[in-house]
Amino acid sequence: MSKEWEPRIVAFFCNWCTYTAADLAGVSRLKYAPNVRVIRLMCSGRVDPQFILDALARGADGVLIGGCHPGDCHYVEGNYKALRRFRMLQRMLDQMGIERERVRLEWISAAEGEKVQRVINEMTEQVRALGPLNLPGKFEEWDKEMEALAARIAKEEAKRSEAEPAAEKKEA
Amino acid sequence: MEPEKDEEAPKIGVYVCRCGGNISDVVDVERVAKTIAEMEGVAISKVHTFMCSDPGQSMIVEDIKKESLNRVVVASCSPFLHELTFRNAVQRGGLNPYLYDHVNIREQGSWAHKSDPEGATAKAIRLIAAGVEKVKHAEPLERIRLSNHQRALVLGGGAAGMKAALELARRGIPAVIIDKNAELGGHIKEWGKLFPTDEDGQTLAARLRSEVEAEKDIEVIAPAKVTKISGFVGNYDVAFERLGEGGKPGEEAKLTVGAIIVATGFEPYRPAEGEFGYRKTPRVMTMPEFIAWAGSQPNGRLTLDGREVRRVGFLHCVGSRQIEGVHKPQPDGRVNTYCSRVCCSTVLNQAVQVRKRFPSVSVLDFHQDIRSYGRGHEDYYIEASNRGVAFFRYHGDEPPEVATDAEGLVRLRMKDYLTWGEEIEASMDVLVLAVGMTPSPIGDLIDMLKLATGHDRFLQEVHPKLRPVESSVNGVFLAGTAQAPMTLEEALCSAGAAAAKAAALLGSEYVEVDPFVARVDEAKCTGCERCVEECAYSGAIVMVEKETEGGGKVKKAEVNAGLCAGCGACVAVCPTRAIDLRGWSLKEFDSMVDGLVSAAERLAAK
């Protein structure tokens, strides 16, 4: 990590609205930050909280989900499902101590290229202000703690079995 | 249902397009290709000026053969432009077309980050890395073949419905028309002489009707009402009810069709009581009411309520081009902001007819604009002017005020912008409200077929330019004014287009659909039914009882490929990861995230 830190944001955009809007933003030559990298999926209803957690766990600093406006879903109600799951996920993030601003859900229709530009720029700046999330780094720390804990337990176990060899034999 | 395992080690060909500078002026494509070449599984990584050109595509075909590639990634424009182009190239090279991934580095790359070449290059590397990781897990897929019932249902037997059925039958495809009225013909039979040919609507309707009756491949079921539609492209089961006297429900029956054309038409806008004096006096009438009344009067003198009619006024844009805050909203809270397209020419046509048939009656025309845009329509404007029709122009946000005077005549006040905003007041014997079009009340049908509607409540097509008569439901097409206000010429044109699309679909004994549907890993499925609850398409996932080895019975989810729309909502709720989507699998997403976030970082660290 010699270079200056840049926020890494993974986006899940639905095929019918937000992905198309992102294309429109490009065609309209609207400039925005290159930090958001888009994964296209058919429907925002597909976005499983686990996708988001996986992205964060692998090193993303933020996750953006884009779907069609309520009432406009190509699959009738997929965006409502996305919203429901998103609310649940926000509570989970709170519990994990991850700032809510790192995960954002936006309704962006195929005609709203400017909204893509605005949301991406806003989010990049927000995440930049929050700083790196570095979950993989935290995982390493947690792993080390867990290893230390496991080693201590193993040591204590070993001590105990030395002290009570007779009891074990009885059970066998 | 287990996916076929591709045990072969990935040999991926990556192609980065310059797009003649559109990409390479911003993104350092050479550096991108070199970096990606370092990735595990990438056999070749090349740059080309135009990947979509013949030489570009041939390069893929030849490389697959020469280098025995088993996966391909192209990084170029949006997948909406050329994903299919390169899938076909991959197929020509002898690979399954779904062993391909398309990466967008133009619309969402060079064009969006023109002032940041370094950022755009870094982003391109990561997006392609994600594509490479995804394609490693791609499986060969076959388009799904479904049996096809080679006949169509046409909902609505107006001009558009009859035209669509005739076009289908003439191509040898049987069509069934269901209409709620006993006599086919819809609204045109009520309209008298029609612009721009001056043909009589009733005669035209009768002509279409006799052609329909003479056609052995058309069955007419009327009056009848559709009660239930289930199924999918090639296989729609339709339940309907024949209606008896006075619309009373009668005998129920069923039929199966491969495609459905929705030609349910429109309803004339119904002014609210008191809107421009409507229903306050019989001297204010809507256009259809006027045509019916005037049409029944002999030429010469025109009388209403025993009194000679000396002056008739026409008011444009009633129920159309409404402005929020100026016009009273419709029952659903919205205003009709759209132009109904036919009212201007209808007014001009009727104005000319009044002047021709009742020369002693003078005609006033109150408009915001006159949109006589179709071929031959302007001639009516010229003729109306020549015949002495007086024109007045109001602004949309200052609609005329209408009241009744002491003599019982209609009095209209407005600011006339042809005389630079002068207040005018005119009294007349009859005021005709040129009402626009509103969608037919087909809420139940919209629910049954899961059709999309626009903000104007008319049915919506997939793409207004590229797929103008297809609904978002596979095998359901739109014809005529169910989709938007149209003139008769336009409605018949759209009906012909819908019939052509339906005929292309129904010409074969089977239909092919995209293979991106859900599949169930039975070993993992616990039968919890969460996927069934989550699915918006009834019947797409069903629970099926299966025997276990021990002789017991368990429930397992099963996907009906014809009904599955491929949205993936079920995948998101499955607690055991038993259900997944072909072509957009969990593994593929997982590896894409890895490609975006970590794989590229690992490369950079190398």
High-pLDDT (> 90) share of chain B, %: 84
Is the pLDDT assigned to residue B180 strictly greater than 60?
Answer: yes
A75 and B569: CB-CB below 8 Å?
yes
Q: CA of B595: which chain A residue's CA is closest?
A: A58
pLDDT at A109: 87
B536 and A78: CB-CB below 8 Å?
yes
A8 and B597: CB-CB below 8 Å?
yes
Cβ atoms of B590 and B582 closer than 8 Å = no
Is the pLDDT assigned to residue B551 strictly greater than 90?
Answer: no
| pLDDT tens digit sequence for B54-80 | 999 999 999 999 999 999 999 999 998
SS3 B189: helix
A34 and B119: CB-CB below 8 Å?
yes
What Rg do the C-alpha atoms of chain A give, in angstroms?
A: 23
Give contacts of A48 with chain B, Cβ < 8 Å.
571-573
* Residue B569 contacts A, CB cutoff 8 Å: yes
What Rg do the C-alpha atoms of chain B give, in angstroms?
A: 31
Residues of A with CB under 8 A from a CB of B: 8, 10, 20, 22-23, 25-27, 29-35, 37-43, 45-48, 51, 54-55, 58-60, 72, 74-78, 81, 85, 136
What global pTM score does this model have? Answer: 0.72
* Residue B514 contacts A, CB cutoff 8 Å: no
Give contacts of A40 with chain B, Cβ < 8 Å.
79
Task: Give the nearest partner residue to A42 out of B111, B450, B568, using CB atoms.
Answer: B568
- The span from the CA of A89 to the CA of B475, in Å, is 37
pLDDT at B295: 93
pLDDT at B523: 93
Is the pLDDT assigned to residue B467 strictly greater than 70?
Answer: yes
CB atoms within 10 A of CB A121: 16
pLDDT at B250: 83
| pLDDT tens digit sequence for B257-275 | 999 999 999 999 999 999 9
Task: Give the nearest partner residue to A46 out of B113, B568, B592, using CB atoms.
Answer: B568
| pLDDT tens digit sequence for A15-59 | 988 998 999 899 889 999 999 999 999 999 999 888 899 999 999
More confident residue, B4 or A84: A84
Question: How does DSSP classify residue B10?
Answer: P
Q: Of A102, A105, A96, A100, nearest to A35 (Cα)? A: A102
* Residue B51 contacts A, CB cutoff 8 Å: no
Burial of B206 (0-12, 13-18, 19+ CB in 10 A): middle
Task: Give the nearest partner residue to A37 out of B78, B126, B452, using CB atoms.
Answer: B126
Confidence of residue A167 (pLDDT cuts 50, 70, 90): low
Task: Give the nearest partner residue to B589 out of A20, A37, A39, using CB atoms.
Answer: A39
Confidence of residue A172 (pLDDT cuts 50, 70, 90): very low
Q: Which of A108-112, A158-162, B249-253, B577-581 has the highest mean pLDDT?
A: B577-581
Averaged pLDDT of chain B: 93
Tokens of B466: 């590229």
Task: Give the nearest partner residue to A55 out of B111, B450, B597, using CB atoms.
Answer: B597
Give contacts of A77 with chain B, Cβ < 8 Å.
536
* Residue B535 contacts A, CB cutoff 8 Å: no
SS3 B178: strand
A41 and B592: CB-CB below 8 Å?
no
- The span from the CA of B412 to the CA of B400, in Å, is 6
Cβ atoms of B128 and B27 closer than 8 Å = no
Cis peptide upstream of residue B79 (ω within 30 degrees of 0): no
Cis peptide upstream of residue B196 (ω within 30 degrees of 0): yes
User: Mean pLDDT, to the nearest integer, of B47-59?
Assistant: 96
Instruction: Measure the CA angle with vertex B147, ends B142 and B151; round to 5°.
Output: 135
| pLDDT tens digit sequence for B414-455 | 999 999 999 999 999 999 999 999 999 999 998 888 787 877
A34 and B122: CB-CB below 8 Å?
yes
Task: Give the nearest partner residue to B565 out of A41, A75, A136, using CB atoms.
Answer: A75
Is the pLDDT assigned to residue B31 strictly greater than 50?
Answer: yes
* Residue B566 contacts A, CB cutoff 8 Å: yes
Residue position matching structure tokens 């950079």: B604
Q: Of B36, B31, B96, nearest to B69 (Cα)? A: B96
Task: Give the nearest partner residue to A46 out of B116, B450, B569, using CB atoms.
Answer: B569
pLDDT at A160: 87
Q: CA of B533: which chain A residue's CA is closest?
A: A81
Is the pLDDT assigned to residue B244 strictly greater than 90?
Answer: no
| pLDDT tens digit sequence for B95-135 | 999 999 999 999 999 999 999 999 999 999 999 999 999 99
Is the pLDDT assigned to residue B7 strictly greater than 70?
Answer: no
B569 and A43: CB-CB below 8 Å?
yes
B450 and A58: CB-CB below 8 Å?
no
- The span from the CA of B144 to the CA of B511, in Å, is 8
High-pLDDT (> 70) share of chain B, %: 98
Q: CA of A136: which chain B residue's CA is closest?
A: B598
SS3 A155: helix
* Residue B472 contacts A, CB cutoff 8 Å: yes
Q: Where are the alpha helices (DSSP H) in B557-606?
A: 569-573, 586-594, 600-605
* Residue B533 contacts A, CB cutoff 8 Å: no
Is the pLDDT assigned to residue A126 strictly greater than 50?
Answer: yes
| Buried-state track B399-430, b at ≥16 Cβ within 10 A, e below 16 | bbebeeeeeebbbbebbbeeeeeeebebbbbb
Question: How does DSSP classify residue A44?
Answer: G
Is the pLDDT assigned to residue A166 strictly greater than 60?
Answer: no
pLDDT at A165: 62
pLDDT at B536: 87
pLDDT at B606: 62
Residue position matching structure tokens 């919506």: B460
Confidence of residue B3 (pLDDT cuts 50, 70, 90): very low
Q: Looking at this predicted complex, what is its ipTM?
A: 0.84
- For A112, A125, B422, the CA distances from A117, given in Å and listed in that order, are 9, 12, 47
Determine the residue among B110, B115, B593, B594 to mutate to test chain A binding: the one whose Cβ has the most chain A Cβ atoms within 10 Å.
B593
B568 and A37: CB-CB below 8 Å?
no
Task: Give the nearest partner residue to A31 out of B79, B112, B581, using CB atoms.
Answer: B112
- The span from the CA of B413 to the CA of B119, in Å, is 63
pLDDT at A168: 52
pLDDT at B1: 40
pLDDT at B2: 42
Interface of B with A in 74-93 (CB under 8 A): 78-80
Q: Where are the alpha helices (DSSP H) in B507-599?
A: 530-534, 569-573, 586-594
Q: Strands B42-48, B12-17: parallel, antiparallel or unpaired by DSSP?
A: parallel
Is the pLDDT assigned to residue B463 strictly greater than 80?
Answer: no
A78 and B567: CB-CB below 8 Å?
yes
- The span from the CA of A3 to the CA of B410, in Å, is 80
Is the pLDDT assigned to residue B598 strictly greater than 70?
Answer: yes
Give contacts of B592 with chain A, Cβ < 8 Å.
39
pLDDT at A111: 81
Q: Strands B284-286, B430-435: parallel, antiparallel or unpaired by DSSP?
A: parallel
Is the pLDDT assigned to residue B603 strictly greater than 80?
Answer: no
- Non-local (6+) Cβ contacts of B42 within 8 A are B12, B14, B36, B132
Tokens of A22: 């992102």
